[in-house]
Amino acid sequence: MQTLVDHHGRSFPYLRLSLTEACNYRCAYCLPDGYQANGRPVFLVLEEIRRLVRGFAALGMSKIRLTGGEPSLRKDLPAIIAAVAAVPGIRRIALTTNGCRLPRLVRGWREAGLTALNVSLDSLDAARYLDITGHDRFAEVTEGIEQALALGFEAVKINAVLLRGRNDDELPAWLDYLRGRDVALRFIELMQTGENREFFERHHLRAEGLQRQLLADGWVLRPRAADAGPALEYAHPDYRGRIGVIAPYARDFCAGCNRLRVTARGDLRLCLFGNFGVSLRPLLQSDDDHDALVAHIATQLGLKAAGHGLHQGLTGITPHLASIGG
């Protein structure tokens, strides 16, 4: 089997695959006006996804994260999970969701073969949650997380985007929440995108102060697995839960990059904030193109840059993270 190693010595066990650009939420930092369909987009269908994942698995990828947009809007999500799980070499199938459909659907996803779940929950206060996401679904999401915790996933994680003035005073509430729950909460630094510049300037908050506070309070940094996402994760003997910090503006953040992305339309994106996408879709129409697909992906990797240009305000072709899956 080939493995993917780029010119900067990084390897790539982890693929983030977006299943749709559509979303039912209006998160203030992502789609404040809701999802606006551009024409009649046609997203990758099951058979294309199966071929795509086979191609990446042949290059040593063992972890696939399904994302969006909101991936739970895909009616065929259980079938997609099962198809990905059946590809030899794929050991972990994770999903990132806003969580509003968890109570109805999470058991089915687990039974189809999902191994890990990340749920976005920007506040533990229902009114603030509504204010940030545009949806009054706090009760469903928190109930869904409880259900997920009982289903034996390898990991259940919660994502909270850290927002100056909106949710940056909630550490005490989160600590209560984490005391008895086996869940990893991750504070994500707000990232600038093509369309959220003004919001970013008002609400971006560096996570360094939070990290200093965690260390001072006895939280200890844990080692990071080779196929883990970018969070630095801390544990504490008095808490079942863990706290992660995703700090894309930190020095050397991109040195640990271990993932590639494919959009819901089948474009390979080498970076979350890259300047171009490469369509893989023509090579997903027949099993006969498997070798060509594998060769094409491997060649493209040569173009992967060392890191993002966010410090210079360069957001590439990414208008918002719903367009690529975060």
Ligand X SMILES: C[S@@+](CC[C@H](N)C(=O)[O-])C[C@H]1O[C@@H](n2cnc3c(N)ncnc32)[C@H](O)[C@@H]1O
Residues near ligand SF4, by CB under 6 A: 23, 25, 27, 30-31, 68-70, 98, 120, 230, 253-254, 257, 271-273, 307-308, 322
From the list 323, 325, 326, 230, the residue with the least C-alpha distance to 38 is 323
Task: Determine which residue in the list 81, 83, 190, 294 makes contact with ligand X, applying CB under 6 A.
Answer: 190
Q: Is 65 within any annotated ligand binding site?
A: yes
Q: Is 263 in the site for ligand X (CB under 6 A)?
A: no
Among residues 193 and 211, whose Cβ is nearest to ligand X? 193
SS3 319: coil
Query: Cβ contacts of residue 68 below 8 Å, gap of 6+?
Result: 18, 19, 20, 21, 22, 23, 96, 264, 322, 325
Q: Is 23 within any annotated ligand binding site?
A: yes
Sign of CA dihedral 14, 92, 191, 243: negative
Segment 75 to 104, residues that bind ligand X, using CB under 6 A: 96-98
Q: Is 24 in the site for ligand X (CB under 6 A)?
A: no
d(C-alpha 18, C-alpha 203), whole Å = 26
SS3 313: coil
- Integer-rounded Cα radius of gyration of the chain: 19
**Whole-Å CA distances, 23 to 18, 31, 108, 166, 290:** 12, 8, 21, 22, 31
Task: Determine which residue in the list 61, 156, 161, 205 makes contact with ligand X, applying CB under 6 A.
Answer: 161
Task: Determine which residue in the list 17, 53, 94, 280 makes contact with ligand GTP, applying CB under 6 A.
Answer: 94
Which range, of 41-49, 53-61, 190-198, 267-275, touches ligand X by CB under 6 A?
A: 190-198
- x/- map, 297-326, ligand X, by CB under 6 A: ------------------------xx--xx
Dig out the tokens for 248 from the structure. 């894309």
Among residues 24 and 98, whose Cβ is nearest to ligand GTP? 98
Task: Give the interface with ligand GTP as residue ranges (CB under 6 A).
Answer: 65, 67, 94, 96, 118, 157, 159, 188, 191, 228-231, 246, 248, 257, 259, 272, 321, 326
